[in-house]
Structure 1
Amino acid sequence: MLEQTKVNIIDQSNEALLDQMGLKKTKLRLELVKHFKDAKHAQSYSDLKQIMGEGVDKSTLYRNLSAFEEVGLIHGINDHSGITKYALGASPSAGQEHAHFVCESCETVYCVKGMTEIQMKVPSGFKAKNIQTIIRGTCANC
């Protein structure tokens, strides 16, 4: 299902995509959408700040990432490094099941397509909100 969502996102113009998501078309948002479409792996705030340049302040970038995440344009990934990474597409908890591969050498995070839905039994009285699958190892670049 993620593949279909990504295809729809990638096939649309950046302007049309922001319109569809109900987001205002600002210069920064258009640049962010372009960057996420071109990115081969998940991006941290620091990665994005460096790419977007010094002209973008911290709160503006965080607000835009938050807005993108709210509408399902991107999803945040907690890889247990303490640094959230962001990737194109809705989150696994929003029904877009997929795993994330974390390279233990370079710390790059990749979305992994083709994962089947995980069914887990939690103890009686517990309610699972979402399941995050992290695969650790070494990426092809390392």
Structure 2
Amino acid sequence: MKNENHEVLLEQKGLKKTKVRMALLQHFMGLDHAQSYSDLQTALAKEVDKSTLYRNLTSFEQAGIIHRINDHSGVSKYAFGESPIQGNEHAHFVCECCETVYCMEGLAPLQLKVPKGFKTKKVQTIIRGICAAC
């Protein structure tokens, strides 16, 4: 995606165009898998300090540019695209060898029936296995 499109996305989401946001957005859009905070910090070390990265991840998540994935490793991962909320649910594949997390688009979300009086806020489906690279 060209920089003009990055700028348009930031504008549509109500975020100012900054050097850090452009670099972060370009990084996310160039990946096919989720990244941990540590991965992002390593990849963008020259462009961003720790607190700026955290603030921008929070802004991107709140704006629906990225979503957070809890793969039960204890480390949150972030992936490009809106949060899997009602109407945009998708599963996540976690490779048991390399621990890479991939969004699995196109898989039908689980239709769960919860007991009367329960209210579902979010359903997260984690698929574990071995990725094609491993």
TM-score calculated relative to the size of structure 2: 0.93
Matched residue, 1:137 = 129
Higher relative contact order (CA 8 A, sep 6+): 1
How many residue pairs were aligned? 133
Could you report, residue by residue, the CA deviation over 1:65-113 in whole angstroms, capped at 9, with x for unpaired residues? Answer: 0100111100000000011111111011253111100001110000011
Which runs of 5 or more structure 2 residues have no equivalent in the other structure?
none
Of 48, 60, 84, which aligns to 2:40?
A: 48
- Determine whether 1:68 maps to 2:60: yes
Which runs of 5 or more structure 1 residues have no equivalent in the other structure?
1-9
Matched residue, 1:19 = 11
> Counterpart of 2:102 in 1: which secondary structure?
strand
Runs (4+) of structure 1 moved beyond 3 Å?
Answer: none
Matched to 1:103, the amino acid is C
Matched residue, 2:84 = 92
Matched residue, 2:113 = 121
Distance in 2, matches of 1:55 and 1:27, equals 8
Percent identity over the alignment is 62
Distance in 2, matches of 1:22 and 1:36, equals 18
Matched residue, 1:34 = 26
Distance in 1, matches of 2:109 and 2:48, equals 38
RMSD of equivalent CA atoms: 1.5
> Counterpart of 2:77 in 1: which secondary structure?
strand
Distance in 2, matches of 1:92 and 1:55, equals 29
Using a 3 Å threshold, how does the CA distance of structure 1 residues 17 and 113 change in structure 2: closer, same or farther?
Answer: same
Matched to 1:97, the amino acid is E
Using a 3 Å threshold, how does the CA distance of structure 1 residues 69 and 94 change in structure 2: closer, same or farther?
Answer: farther
Matched to 1:18, the amino acid is L
